[in-house]
Chains A and B, each alone.
Chain A
Amino acid sequence: MALANDLADTSPRTAADKRVMTAEERFFAASQWQLMWRKFRKHKVALASLVILVIFYLIALTFEFWAPYGPYTDQGLVNAPPTTIHFFTDDGRFTGPFIYGIEQELDTETFKRVPVINKDEMYRLRFFVHAEEYRFWGVIKADLHFFGVEGDGRLLLLGTDDLGRDLFSRVLAGSRISLTIGVVGVFVSLIMGAIIGGIAGYYGSWADLVISRIIEFIGSIPNLPLWMLMASIIPLDWPIVRVYFMTTIIISLLTWVGLARIVRSQLLQLRTQDFAKAARLAGASDLRIIVDHLIPGMLSYLIVSVTISIPQTILAETSLSFLGLGLRPPAVSWGVLLQAARNVQNIVLRPWMLSPAIVVILTIFVFNFVGDGLRDAADPYK
């Protein structure tokens, strides 16, 4: 509409008009990606989610620095509830963030160890502290932590587990496996989906028939039991890295279907378009037509479905590890951490063990918001 009005408008332009025109010209000259980005930016929730997501991934890649303790370090306090951070002393004096000392005492009636706060000891919260030594990515030696408390204080933001390990540090450490498995897994299924769906969509006929049947077949059986079966045959004595990749491949073996379906239907539609026919008449090879002409046409759809597939892959890993069939205890992932929340008794006695679930839910939400924003942005009719 705006364009029609501008074309009809033949009156001499003022400086202000000119500025409007250049903005509009920019709009018409913008590439598909620039247009998508413009629309995406308007979707505030999606934009905020994207920022959170980037932060999550940065933390996952460098958790050694952000976590106050190592994921396996015994804090000497078993099943301790989260530590409260105080800002005021008992007599109401503001001192900045600090925590009280915690000691564990044996309750003589229940014979359980209960944490007791010792108000005589006060430990200040400090940023950029030199504390527990770690090897960054298992290689570089360092001891700088983003935050920690001075002295012998124990800052347990999410409490400890039954081996006295700091849950907050473990959640951060678990994000490395849990968040990357989503990306790696979807990358594998994207390759599988693109090749298989591509063959079906581009060549059609019997190849399409066979592949469509396979896709239908996988769609009609419940995924999780099949994943459980495949995960259960991973040998128990494998190192973490191998289990990680095996789990990723197992998950991808069923998730490629969704991506293949999109590639197939998009290619079926695009290959009959005039530009594809023209390329074929001009003698371009199949590969060149697909790579140069067809893939750019469906890239936006692919990106959207990849964004939506990542959280599903993360969830698959979480469910499998939760059931004890994916990654196993020396490895730290969100699913492994949630194993502690498997029975009702544990949840009731130590509700803080549920915190990994909240982190997973948050991640899934954020991914879905970004996916929704991308979907709207990629839709040219909206």
Chain B
Amino acid sequence: MINYLIRRLALTLVTIVVLSFAIFTIVQIPPGDAIDREVRAREAQGDLVSREEIMTLRRQYGLDRPMAVRYWEWISGFWRGDLGRSASGRQVSYLIMERLPQTLALSFAGLIITYAVAIPIGIYSATHQYSIGDYLATGIGFVGLSVPGFLIGLILLYLFYKWFGLSIGGFFSTEFKSAPWSWERLVDLINHLWVPLLVITIGSTGGLIRTMRAQLLDELGKQYVMTARAKGVPKRKLLMKYPVRMSLNPIVAGIAGMFPYLLSGQVVVAIVLNLPTLGPLLNTALVTEDVALSSSVLMIQSMLGILGTIVSDILLGILDPRIRYERGA
């Protein structure tokens, strides 16, 4: 197990290095850098900028050095928590820390809700195949899987407004935004949270219901189930003890893909619903060409995705010794 862990973590390290390099390179691609923009802005105002001045500016910002050196400075600063300044003049680390907890909370809540909802529904769907409930569950699963969250979000937003007069968007209503924690504030938060959570999780839940149902149906058709039933094992005990446990394996493996998926889906949903998470921050950073901010946000989001993958791999390694040996040995 330890061997497996070490290998897995080493691989992750390589992945993160490659990723950081890729992000750094892509961010550098657009022609012209911050200095060029500054020079253009000054020239537009009628200032004449001499070559020497440009060179001084470049040296000041460290842009005259080779890319490898700049990359090293960026990445080593990243590990120390120094992410530079955004174009708005504020510390990038401050802007990110302001939103990171909400992003994490929303993703984890989404993950937990997905599993808590999808597994029981999947079990029900498989044990009551072709019942009305099954059709309903597979129907919802199909919708959730094929329609992206933000489109559902847009339509829900309108319907909720029309039916209940709810104003959704953000985490709190205006009167609770900076109020101290109280019972009403919590209620307000929950009122605002369930719509984004529903929208974020509907896709992953749909997919999971499908997998769980298919896996369990496969497992229920096997002969050991028939044998056990013939020997008089109570139906419920039999179901929970063997087939359900067997079919959970690929579900746990699915956590790996689920986390990046939830992070990705969150971006647009958060923009539509006006949630203070990393997604909208990245969007504005990209639109305004705020390089320091966008590369850092992207780096953090990708690392969260990779982290989710490792956690699920380790979980799977604990659950299934075959995976440990295959990948670790």
Contacts of B158-193 to chain A: CB distance below 8 A = 158, 161-162, 167-169
A235 at interface (Cβ–Cβ under 8 A)?
A: yes
CB-CB under 8 A from B304, the residues of chain A are 222
Q: Which of B145, B146, B263, B294 contacts A222 (CB 8 A)?
A: B263
What 5 A-B pairs have minimum CB-CB distances, sorted nearest first? Answer: A232-B286, A222-B264, A224-B264, A222-B263, A221-B302
Kindly provide the distance from the CB of A244 to the nearest chain B CB, expressed in whole angstroms.
19
Kindly provide the distance from the CB of A314 to the nearest chain B CB, expressed in whole angstroms.
10
Give 1 or 0 for each of B284-305: 1 = CB within 8 Å of chain A CB: 0011010000100110011011
A373 at interface (Cβ–Cβ under 8 A)?
A: no
Whether the Cβ atoms of A322 and B294 lie closer than 8 Å is no
Whether the Cβ atoms of A311 and B146 lie closer than 8 Å is yes
Interface centre among A221, A347, A361 (most CB of B within 10 A): A221
What are 8 sample pairs from A and B whose C-beta atoms fall under 8 A apart?
Answer: A219-B260, A220-B309, A221-B19, A226-B302, A311-B146, A319-B150, A358-B155, A361-B147
Whether the Cβ atoms of B283 and A228 lie closer than 8 Å is yes
Q: Which of A221, A223, A357, A368 contacts B142 (CB 8 A)?
A: A368
Whether the Cβ atoms of A229 and B23 lie closer than 8 Å is yes
The interface of chain B, by Cβ under 8 A from chain A, is: 11, 15, 18-19, 23, 26-27, 29-31, 142, 145-148, 150-151, 154-155, 157-158, 161-162, 167-169, 256-257, 260-261, 263-265, 267-268, 271-272, 274, 279, 282-283, 286-287, 289, 294, 297-298, 301-302, 304-306, 308-309
B interface majority secondary structure: helix
Question: Complex Cα distance A228/B256, Å?
Answer: 22
A354 at interface (Cβ–Cβ under 8 A)?
A: yes
Q: Which of B145, B148, B294 contacts A229 (CB 8 A)?
A: B294
Question: Complex Cα distance A217/B18, Å?
Answer: 9
Interface size on A, as a range, is 35 or more
Q: Which of A220, A232, A368 contacts B287 (CB 8 A)?
A: A232
Whether the Cβ atoms of A222 and B154 lie closer than 8 Å is no
Kindly provide the distance from the CB of A6 to the nearest chain B CB, expressed in whole angstroms.
29
Question: Complex Cα distance A322/B283, Å?
Answer: 11
Whether the Cβ atoms of B158 and A351 lie closer than 8 Å is yes
CB-CB under 8 A from B19, the residues of chain A are 217, 221
Question: Complex Cα distance A8/B111, Å?
Answer: 58
Known: A219-B256, A229-B27. 18 other contacts (CB 8 A): A217-B15, A217-B18, A220-B15, A222-B302, A223-B264, A224-B264, A224-B268, A225-B263, A228-B267, A229-B23, A233-B30, A311-B146, A319-B148, A325-B283, A338-B154, A357-B154, A361-B147, A364-B147
Whether the Cβ atoms of A222 and B305 lie closer than 8 Å is yes
Whether the Cβ atoms of A229 and B286 lie closer than 8 Å is yes
Decide yes or no: A360 and B257 within 8 Å by CB, A226-B302, A235-B30, A347-B158 being known contacts.
Answer: no
CB-CB under 8 A from A219, the residues of chain B are 256-257, 260, 309
Contacts of A307-354 to chain B: CB distance below 8 A = 311, 315, 318-319, 322-325, 338, 341-344, 347-348, 351, 354
Question: Complex Cα distance A220/B12, Å?
Answer: 10
Whether the Cβ atoms of A361 and B294 lie closer than 8 Å is no
Whether the Cβ atoms of A354 and B286 lie closer than 8 Å is no
A365 at interface (Cβ–Cβ under 8 A)?
A: yes
Interface centre among B145, B154, B298 (most CB of A within 10 A): B154
Contacts of A177-216 to chain B: CB distance below 8 A = 213
Q: Which residue of B lies closest to A341 (CB)?
A: B154
Decide yes or no: A325 and B287 within 8 Å by CB, A229-B26, A361-B151 being known contacts.
Answer: yes
Question: Complex Cα distance A338/B304, Å?
Answer: 29
CB-CB under 8 A from A114, the residues of chain B are none
Kindly provide the distance from the CB of A339 to the nearest chain B CB, expressed in whole angstroms.
11
CB-CB under 8 A from B271, the residues of chain A are 323, 342
